[in-house]
Amino acid sequence: MILCQECGNSAPSRDGFCSSCGALLDWSGERVDTRILPLTPAAAAEQARRAAKPDPAASAAAPGGAKVWTPGSAQPAAQAPASAPPPRQPEAVRPGQPVASSASGAETPSQPGGWLPTVEAQRTDPVPAMQEPEYTGLYCQACGVRNPEGRRFCRSCGAMLQLPAVPVEERRSWWQRLIDRLLGRRRDFAAGERPAGFRDHHAAGGKSQASGDAPHKRRLRLPRHIKLGKFAPLLIIAGLLGIGLGPARAWVTSEAGSLLGLAKAKVNQHYASVTPVGATASSEDDHGAGLAIDGLKNTYWASELHTDGVGDVLTVTFASPVNIDQIGILSGADTQNFHASARPHDLIVSAAGTPDTVLSFDDSADFQNRAITLRHVTTVTFTVKDSYPGQQKHDIAIRDIEFFVKS
């Protein structure tokens, strides 16, 4: 087994490239020894049986006291020790002939003379050669070797197996291509890609133009054949519109004009000032209610009945019925001491024939406008619903109230 040092993935010893990162295993791989699995009970019993079986060549002695020579053992000495008589050498006999009996009179089986070789040891079963496993994965496009399932790189050459799919450009519809032609839009082609019927305008007479020459001007060419089929859908649509708009042309013109007028009025709205003739209040101190409609920025109306003016009422009167589309106020006594007195936060606007409307204002010294719809009114009443508390006084102060109508 080979262990990839780049990504840590393990691969068979026959693989040349890593299946995870595609690195060359001869350079970045480390061969590791696999663990030997324990023998099965049947294999362990067979091995014990062979170990317990005695060796017939080692245990059996040669007939007549002859020694048995085994391959690899040393030859016997030429002479025996001096204390022992020399051994009797057996006579050389042919294979198959009986050997003379010994002094005891016992016969020995026929054996060839000299040292006898041992019986050939029992050989193990032959180990079959390792065969290439049959993989069912992708074939490599570079070398043609088949790979296992799930590999990203070839096990033989390291090439990428799963190449990124090339996106297929969706064909545009006929009307989109027609609009591009009419508007003169040109498609951007990739390197080496040319449209159908492309002609090299920088080449003259079949030869490419020299780099130092001035570029050749492209001449306008008229089409030889005009295909009216391309313009048929546009002609049909134009004809249907002409037939359908004939009787309703006056209605379409009037509706389009009215919509255009409304759009212009929304964009360019103008307001005219509506001037009241008098004002009264439920309570007032040295600053009367008329100072809230005099149009001056340095005078104001101040109440003294309720704390912070909540619940005080101011009524404005007009000489004739008027329409009001916008109301604006200036809060506070003056800009230098704006937070000294209370300022209106929510005002309830009431008028005859119109439901009450609550207008909310910010705590700001700037002029603030709020939209409202009042029609044919002669009096407008303001009731203080909520206010911003003052820091020095508890009376509410309003410098100016103005009314506007759309012109």
Domain assignment of residue 168, yes or no: no
Q: What CATH number has the domain bearing residue 298?
A: 2.60.120.260
- Domain with 341, as residue range(s), is 271-406
Mean pLDDT of 165-181: 77
pLDDT of residue 330: 92
Domain assignment of residue 114, yes or no: no
* Same domain (yes/no): 13, 153: yes
Three-state helix/strand/coil letters over the chain = CEEECCCCCEECCCCCECCCCCCEHHHHEEECCCCCCCCCHHHHHHHHHHHHCCCHHHHCCCHHHCCEECCCCCCCCCCCCCCCCCCCCCCCCCCCCCCCCCCCCCCCCCCCCCCEECCCCCCCCCCCCCCCCCCCCCECCCCCCECCCCCCECCCCCCECCCCCCCCCCCCCHHHHHHHHHHCCCCCCCCCCCCCCCCCCCEECCEECCCCCCCCCCCCCCCCCCCCCCCHHHHHHHHHHHHHHCCCHHHHHHHHHHHHHHHHHHHCCCEEEECCCEEEECCCCCCCHHHHCCCCCCCCEECCCCHHHCCCEEEEEEEEEEEEEEEEEEECCCCCCCCCCEEEEEEEEEECCEEEEEEECCCCCCCEEEEEEEEEEEEEEEEEEEEECCCCCCCEEEEEEEEEEEC
pLDDT of residue 93: 45
Least confident of 24-33, 103-112, 226-235, 345-354: 103-112
Domain assignment of residue 188, yes or no: no
Domain assignment of residue 346, yes or no: yes
Q: Which residue has the higher pLDDT, 197 or 235?
A: 235
Report how many domains make up the chain: 2
* Same domain (yes/no): 25, 142: yes
Domain assignment of residue 220, yes or no: no
Does the model's pTM come out above 0.95?
no
Domain assignment of residue 66, yes or no: no
Domain assignment of residue 291, yes or no: yes
* Same domain (yes/no): 291, 147: no
**393 pLDDT more than 90:** no
Domain assignment of residue 388, yes or no: yes
